[in-house]
Structure 1
Amino acid sequence: MTSVIVGCALVVGSFFCFTAALGLARFKDVYMRMHAASKAGTLGSGVLLLALAVHAGELDVVTRAIAGVIFFMLTAPVSAHLLARAAYIVGYKPCDATVIDELAEAQDGKKQ
């Protein structure tokens, strides 16, 4: 039964990692690419680490895998947000497919 759970988790985690890589290759601007990498990549890596924890079954490996999942969940979204904000401030504008640009609206409000 453990092999089935680990196998399913590996497939699901690999799917999300593949989706993140596909998003990096196909999306139009840095913000969309960063969203794909941070969300799908974090989820895929987390599921793969949980599959490792279930497969190993040893307390030290399970503890490190869970610590890795927590680390990914805490750091990846925050770092992606900070990188996107820095890219916007430097001057990388969103592509035409972006409908709402709240940072531009916030800056326009400060100028008035």
Structure 2
Amino acid sequence: MNEVIPDLGFAIVGFILIFSGTFILLVAAIGLLRFKDIYLQASAVGTAAGLGVAAIILGALVIDFSWLNAVKALIAIPAQLLTAAVGTMTLARAGYLTGSRPIAATSPNDLDDEKLEIEDPSAS
């Protein structure tokens, strides 16, 4: 009887992590459909991909713990966080380079070449 209670506790924590990761990905999917420009869509998907998948991996590790699974999780989670960030930045940059305009409701474009003022170091 004493062994069942810790196993049940780990299962509950694991399923909470898995369901929270799934919920994060579901919210990102809704954001992908609702947001109007590529920059907001990339932001929603990139953040959710990093956090949601990491929560799902941690939940699976808590439910079915072994040292081999722990090593796999220690490799998979940082790899997922890094690739999600790089992928998000690549998508946003591709949108910028192809001329995709942000919607008017978002902040002004600070990267606009016409507004960019570069100081000449020889002028001083």
* 8 A contact 1:2–1:54 mirrored in 2: yes
Q: Does the 8 Å contact 2:37/2:103 carry over to 1?
A: yes
- Note the residue ranges of structure 1 that are not aligned, 5 or more in a row: none
Task: Tell me if the contact between 1:49 and 1:66 (Cα under 8 Å) persists in the aligned partners.
Answer: no
Long gaps (5+) in structure 2 = 1-8, 119-124
- The equivalent position to 1:14 in structure 2, one of 19, 22, 31, is 22
Q: CA RMSD in A?
A: 1.7
Q: Greater relative contact order (Cα 8 A, min sep 6): structure 1 or 2?
A: 2
Residue 92 in 1 paired to residue 105 in 2? no
Distance in structure 2 (CA, Å) of the matches to 1:77 and 1:97 = 24
Larger Rg: 2
> 1:110, CA displacement in angstroms?
5.4
Structure with greater helix share of residues:
1
Counterpart Cα distance in 2 of 1:18 and 1:52: 18
Question: Normalization by structure 2: what TM-score?
Answer: 0.81
Whole-angstrom distance in 1 between the partners of 2:90 and 2:22: 26
Q: State TM-score, norm by structure 1.
A: 0.89
Shift >6 Å, 4+ stretches: none
The aligned length equals: 110
CA distance in 1 between counterparts of 2:42 and 2:63 reads 31
Q: Between the two proteins, what is the percent identity of the paired residues?
A: 29
Q: Deviation string for 1:1-21 (max 9, x for gaps)?
A: 101111211121111011111
After TM superposition, the structure 1 = structure 2 runs for residues 1-112 of structure 1, keeping only pairs within 5 Å, are 1-104=9-112, 107-108=113-114, 109=116
